[in-house]
């Protein structure tokens, strides 16, 4: 893993591979890819789907460990010349040990992130499916985690996409765009990396 880290840290993220883990609706992949491309001015290429690693499943929690999935994603897609990052999308419930669940996780050092659709689906809460709402939520979480890969921290502005979503209401309440402060920070980060 350390070999991969050395190749990605400090390089501009000019490309991102969008990797479905298992079956993901094409409309979700398309909407996420389009919005990430527009927000970060990077080329998004859809990669071949990979199976959801069974060893990331934690039986007593009935959830998948998101950090384990991040590491498997990076191992399956090693960096190439000019290659920026990886964003995985999975339809399984995710967790990290200190939290009950996460909508996603990012590791800026290895330029890898993952988002989960499980808790973004209205039917998770006993409501009827809503494809438009699912796509909107997926875009917000994908842009948020990609922001972390680019070096952005959480934002105190509840309307900024970098606001931390502790609950689904937080995701629904925020926008899909960066606030002015985070747009400026992103510009400085990208300018510094591209020198």
Of the candidates 40, 156, 55, the one whose C-alpha atom is nearest the C-alpha of residue 87 is 40
Spatial separation of the C-alpha atoms in residues 150 and 144, rounded to whole Å:
10
- If residue 66 lies in a helix (H) or strand (E), which one and from where to where? helix 66-76
* Token digits of residue 14: 């000019």
Question: Hey, is 9 helix, strand or coil?
Answer: coil
In angstroms, the Cα distances linking 14 to 43, 56, 105 are 7, 29, 20
Q: Is 145 a catalytic site residue?
A: yes
Using N-to-C axis directions, what is the helix angle for 131-149 and 26-40, rounded to 10°?
A: 40
* Active-site entry in 132, 145, 159, 169: 145
First to last CA, the chain: 26
| Residue positions annotated with a catalytic role | 145
């Amino acid at each position: 893993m350390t070999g991969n880290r050395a190749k990605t840290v400090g390089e501009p993220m000019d490309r991102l591979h969008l990797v479905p883990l298992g079956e993901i609706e094409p409309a979700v992949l398309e909407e996420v890819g389009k919005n990430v491309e527009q927000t970060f001015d990077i080329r998004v290429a859809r990669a071949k789907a990979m199976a959801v690693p069974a060893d990331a499943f934690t039986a007593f929690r009935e959830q998948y460990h998101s950090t384990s999935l991040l590491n498997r994603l990076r191992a399956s897609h090693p960096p190439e010349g000019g290659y920026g990052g990886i964003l995985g999308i999975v339809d399984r419930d995710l967790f990290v040990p200190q939290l009950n669940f996460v909508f996603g996780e990012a590791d800026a050092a290895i330029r890898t992130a993952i988002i989960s659709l499980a808790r973004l689906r209205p039917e998770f809460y006993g409501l009827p499916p809503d494809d438009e709402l699912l796509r909107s939520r997926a875009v917000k979480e994908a842009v948020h985690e990609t922001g972390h890969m680019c070096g952005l921290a959480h934002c105190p502005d509840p309307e900024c996409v970098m606001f931390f979503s502790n609950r689904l209401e937080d995701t629904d309440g925020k926008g899909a765009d960066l606030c002015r402060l985070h747009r400026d920070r992103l510009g400085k980060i990208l300018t510094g990396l591209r020198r």
